[in-house]
Amino acid sequence: MTKHHTEAVQHSSRRATWRTPRDLFDALNHEFAFGLDAAAEPASRLVGQWLGPGSAVAEDALAVDWSAITTGPIFCNPPYSRLLGIAIMPWVEKCATTAEQGCTVVAVLPLSPQTRWFRAHVWSKADEIRLIPHRVTFIDPETSEPAHNAPGNTCIVVWRGRLRRELNPDPRVFYWGYRA
């Protein structure tokens, strides 16, 4: 077994994009009222203003300043797939650096505390890590049908900007049951 075995298994989807289930998104949107979906496609977008292929605002979400596009909180369910060579690290880094500019960023991420990206940008920079007590079933954006459960656990990571982190350097970690 290699050092990266767990990460390889958890990040081994044959596709890089999955739509967030509506009940999960609605619970987050009710709390945050998102102004931007930072990683979407026409079939997977959940917010009126979005970034990604087909977007009128910007096709390459990593190349633009998210804080200049919206004044509201930002939602991000980033694409990633080891099989397709799409890394999650740049997305998580972008979420954290955007929060350092004063924005609130909320991301749906695999719970992977053993990875470099999680240690560098979640443990050390996030304000909250919400553990979901069940496997999330993401939606195939092409068919709008539920796919198989995620291969690993999912978490919601919230970065609330500079002030909160300066006051409390440790993220708040808790189980979050969003289902009614």
**pLDDT digits (tens), the chain, 180 positions:** 444 433 433 444 555 577 899 999 999 999 999 999 999 999 889 999 999 999 999 999 999 999 999 989 999 999 887 777 889 999 999 999 999 999 999 999 999 999 999 999 999 999 999 999 999 988 887 788 887 777 789 999 999 976 555 666 789 999 998 875
Determine contact, residues 64/28, Cβ cutoff 8 Å: no
Give the pLDDT confidence score for residue 165 in this predicted structure: 58
**Predicted local confidence at residue 147, as pLDDT:** 79
- 3-class SS of residue 101: coil
Q: For residue 18, what is the DSSP state?
A: -
Domain layout of the chain by residue ranges:
5-31+73-175
Separation between Cα atoms, residue 161 and residue 32, nearest integer Å? 14
Among residues 13, 14, 57, 22, the alpha carbon closest in space to that of 39 is found at: 57
Contacts of 89 (CB under 8 A, 6+ apart): 116, 117, 121
Going by C-alpha positions, the residue among 180, 179, 126 that lies closest to residue 156 is 126
Contact 15, 48 (CB under 8 A): no
Query: At a CB cut-off of 8 Å and minimum separation 6, what does 130 contact?
Result: 155, 156, 157, 158, 174, 175, 176
